[in-house]
């Protein structure tokens, strides 16, 4: 196997953007399925989500929070693997490790969405909050899973090793 070179900052940035872009269809499908499932629970959920999608908060969620959470966990997954934690911790096949503070970070976002909903005429605060919470949980898991994947990890490992040796 040929020696892998460390990625330049531009190559790393492009890799991270592409890693997120590749997951966007999965995230969109999840959001559609979750939306449809919640819409079956109550007829006003669909109207509430339409109002949320028009809000500045939802724009911030989609354009800033989702990529941020994904990239944080992408790095976590690669670091988890780099530090050999996956060898120390026997994880079930269907389980993906996420950062220890993921639940706390998600809870802060849910508080933010609840504050945003107070200014709107949203009836289903619980379901709308749960929709955003579940979406963020998925994004964290996807990021970590991609970060640990052979394809991604092989590309970034030389950069991780270089950083580790620098310290």
* Residue ranges in the chain assigned as alpha helix (H): 9-41, 43-53, 56-60, 66-82, 85-88, 102-118, 125-148, 150-166
Confidence of residue 166 (pLDDT cuts 50, 70, 90): very low
Please give the share of the chain, as a percent, with pLDDT higher than 90: 65
Confidence of residue 123 (pLDDT cuts 50, 70, 90): confident
Q: Is the confidence at residue 40, as pLDDT, over 70?
A: yes
Q: Is the confidence at residue 65, as pLDDT, over 90?
A: yes
Q: Is the model more confident about 7 or about 4?
A: 7
């Amino acid at each position: 196997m040929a020696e892998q070179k460390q990625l330049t900052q531009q190559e790393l940035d492009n890799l991270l953007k592409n890693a997120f872009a590749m997951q966007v269809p999965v995230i969109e499908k999840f959001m559609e399925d979750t939306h449809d499932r919640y819409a079956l629970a109550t007829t006003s959920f669909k109207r509430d989500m339409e109002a949320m999608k028009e809000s500045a908060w939802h724009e911030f969620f989609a354009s800033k929070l989702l990529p941020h959470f994904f990239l944080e966990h992408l790095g976590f997954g690669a670091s988890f693997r780099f530090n050999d934690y996956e060898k120390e911790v026997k994880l079930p096949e269907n389980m993906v490790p996420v950062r220890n503070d993921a639940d706390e970070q998600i809870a802060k976002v849910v508080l933010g969405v609840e504050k945003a909903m107070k200014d709107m005429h949203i009836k289903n605060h619980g379901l709308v909050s749960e929709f955003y919470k579940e979406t963020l949980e998925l994004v964290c898991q996807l990021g970590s899973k991609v970060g640990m994947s052979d394809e991604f990890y092989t590309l970034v490992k030389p950069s991780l090793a270089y950083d580790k040796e620098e310290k």
